[in-house]
Structure 1
């Protein structure tokens, strides 16, 4: 399903059907489950690539960790606070992410082109699932949901107390509960962490 600018239209449906064929009892879906996971992976991969592009930063392929001096880390975190939790973690899937997303980050005009292609692919996914009669309504609600999802994922990415799987699980739970999603977006950092822990605990 890979193409020059990412993945072909309908790849989420392809992944969902493949999972269902292997695990018939699964309740995971292309949206929001697989899409949320890919979103988190892609963002994390992008941050890792940015850090690794800095002078004085190396990669330990044995431990799957980033290596840099304390001074270098201070400068990196000061420039981008999202890098803070990256320092103390092992990134076992880094090479897999490079294969999935590529080794280079798109910039400038290429980045804009990629964004357009992704939007077209998402639109194609909608068309394959719904009739043209409902398309306008779908796009309106999809835009609102997408904006909320983006804010939730960005907020969760900035909570170092949660591991990646926990962030994805919380995102899935919030997507399925609009009331708690709205509350999450209104809370501050401590409130977000508290609500996330309650959701993970089954509350």
Structure 2
């Protein structure tokens, strides 16, 4: 099964950004125990490449670990060298997509408009990150844009949480990216990693229910 196929099955990609390495380790442990299988750690996180390398070894086949906020080829090189299994960016960069393709690593670029979505696929992206989904209109925007472009896998990212994940999936999201709505800053700062684990379990349960009814 390819990384993209596994993402379509799991549906949830948890994003860790700007968390201290020690807290990041505990966060990933909580997410894994809660059933999350896709982890994106952004390049503006302290020790990001060491984290990717460590999690790849620690969790082996239990997690699929990727690099987020990959803005240029140099970042892509470091991410792949550290063992990233996929890369995500907030923007559309042809060179990053091409570099990923050469190394057989999926790149999911951030896009907003139909033009950007189609360009990303032409450049070689296998899926796109529709970002920021919340600001664009949420499920209604996703549903409308998928009308003419329903053959393109779209990862909804931005303002996706337990309150609207069903609606986003019903609108046709291939998967969802979840940052602060799952990896809550106040929980991390207070050491409440069990709350992250519980929320992860709830979200995974929602996905399982959706899978069972469709």
TM-score, length basis structure 1: 0.28
More helix by share: 1
Question: Over alpha carbons, which structure has the higher Rg?
Answer: 1
